[in-house]
Amino acid sequence: MAPRSLTAGLALLVAAVALLADPNSKGQADNDEPQVVCLTEWGPQATGWYRSRPRECDLHERGKTPVAHVNVWVTKQLRWLRWGPRSAVAKGKLGVSTVGLVPLKVRLTRPRELCGHTVFTRAHLDVRLTYDGKTRRSSHWIWLDTCLR
């Protein structure tokens, strides 16, 4: 009996080592990387995706109905400077309904494990808007959607 259980134990050990050595396998650390909820459909029953490092993302303010550009921040051309376990920072453009695309810096923070995903729950949006020959800066903190329906 001892040789058979030893053989079974060695087989399990070899399988575990092979799984860990496989560069295509996803480890637990990869699965825990924070994501952000990006809307794909607006309205009372908004839907979306969990995304990591999205090139564009419609950020939705949690607890508010997403209608037109109200309670939704439409980001485009995002270049992620950092995406880590505690925060993410990108530069890109924000769609402003009366102006078009304007420069944006976005910082995602406060990752939490919710609805089976680790998601960023807070966003800081720093916008620079130029009109009438003057550059104006606007900063906003918003709580983000965390679960998809």
User: pLDDT grade, residue 31 (50/70/90)?
Assistant: low
pLDDT in tens, 114-142: 999 999 999 999 998 887 888 889 999 99
Q: Which of 66, 61, 55, 59 is nearest to 38 (CA)?
A: 59
**Exposure of 58 by Cβ count < 10 A (0-12 exposed, 13-18 middle, 19+ buried)?**
buried
pTM (2 d.p.): 0.74
pLDDT in tens, 62-117: 888 777 667 889 999 999 999 999 999 999 999 988 888 999 999 999 999 999 99
**Exposure of 42 by Cβ count < 10 A (0-12 exposed, 13-18 middle, 19+ buried)?**
buried
Q: What is the pLDDT of residue 143?
A: 94
- State how far the alpha carbon of 99 is from the alpha carbons of 76, 93, 114, 123, 124, in Å: 14, 12, 35, 22, 21
How is the chain split into domains, by residue range? Answer: 28-143
